[in-house]
Amino acid sequence: GAISLLPGRHHFNSLLQQRVTGSLVLSKATFDAKVSHCRHHLERFRRVRDADGPPAAALELGTGWYPIVPVGLALAGAPEVTSIDVTALLEAERVRRTLDMYAAALASGRLAGQLPGLDPTRAKRTIATARERVGATAEELLATVGVRALLGDARASGLPAGSIELFVSNNTLEHIAPDALAEILAEFGRLSAPGAVMDHFVDISDHYAHFDRSITEFNYLRYPPAVWRFFNNSLQYQNRLRASDYRRLMERAGFTVIAEEPARGAPEQLARIRLARAFRGYGRADLLVLRSWFTAVA
């Protein structure tokens, strides 16, 4: 869209989403969904590694607007948590909102059952310390709870080789160009400690269908690449990769995909789409996947 062409486009996009669509307001439902993702990451790590505790070092790809997952990993006891994003979306106000939501969840008692390994007393003390830091930046607030926020290209993270035990992402991989994603996964291979685990949640659907109810989540499969480029933009870039593509990219980077949890759409909706040539070589079951978890080991 036109906003993607503006200088300071991410700031304008933030204002638009807050004041017009309201999509940047952190609701309890969104918070709970992200905490659920964090729980999935922790449980997968424990199951795959046959571990009783959290990873020694975790890396999140795609910090986003609200750092719910990395804060959750830190509160659950991971001693080193890093979150990297190529775009500066963090703001102190949104980090404080995240901490407020965690404080409320702790006070209600429900968080203890949502995050394996959580020590409620320690978590309350950590959050209280961070919330007392008046005037702190987003990065300083996160550092107080044990999260290091990095702004930069994940293809060249600058982190030490063999230093990460758990890699995670949520609704992120679908927004990365295929060539760049291949390089990021190669970097993850370099960073992997022995037996490192990756756990990614990918939304494979047409994101325009999330707010345009006149189309289905399969809609973008009808457009040839040359046409899709007119709809795609830098603020809401969608790579249109299918589940098999993600699996192949992970395996090419040296990882073994050990689990997938696909959620498929309605076959009758897919049947109404005249597929662009680029998608005619995929199997029907592959095309039906709209969202999926991918768990892999180094």
The DSSP output letter for 162 is T
Mean pLDDT of 73-99: 97
The C-alpha atoms of residue 76 and residue 115 are separated, in whole angstroms, by 6
Residues 229-270: tens digit of each pLDDT:
998 987 889 999 999 999 999 999 999 999 999 999 999 999
**pLDDT of 23 over the 70 cut:** no
**Residue 156 pLDDT:** 98
The DSSP output letter for 178 is H
Q: Where do the H-state alpha helices sit in the chain?
A: 9-16, 28-49, 68-75, 92-108, 120-131, 138-145, 178-191, 225-231, 243-252, 267-271, 284-288
The better pLDDT of the pair 207, 5 is held by 207
**Residue 22 pLDDT:** 45
Domains with residue ranges and CATH for the chain: 26-297 (3.40.50.150)
Mean pLDDT of 80-108: 97
The better pLDDT of the pair 10, 179 is held by 179
pTM of the model: 0.92
**Residue 1 pLDDT:** 42
**pLDDT of 4 over the 70 cut:** no
The C-alpha atoms of residue 166 and residue 185 are separated, in whole angstroms, by 13
Q: Are 271 and 214 in contact (CB under 8 A)?
A: no
What percent of the chain shows pLDDT beyond 70?
A: 92
**Residue 3 pLDDT:** 36
Tell me the average pLDDT of the chain. Answer: 93
**Residue 13 pLDDT:** 44
Residues 164-203: tens digit of each pLDDT:
999 999 999 999 999 999 999 999 999 999 999 999 999 9
**Residue 16 pLDDT:** 40
Within 10 Å of residue 95's Cβ, how many Cβ atoms? Answer: 26
DSSP string, 71-85: HHHHHTT-SEEEEEE
**Residue 24 pLDDT:** 77
**Residue 2 pLDDT:** 39
Residues 25-75: tens digit of each pLDDT:
899 999 999 999 999 999 999 999 999 999 999 999 999 999 999 999 999
Q: Are 220 and 231 in contact (CB under 8 A)?
A: yes
**Residue 8 pLDDT:** 34
Q: Are 97 and 71 in contact (CB under 8 A)?
A: no
What separation in angstroms does the CA of 177 have from each of 18, 91, 183, 291? 27, 26, 10, 18
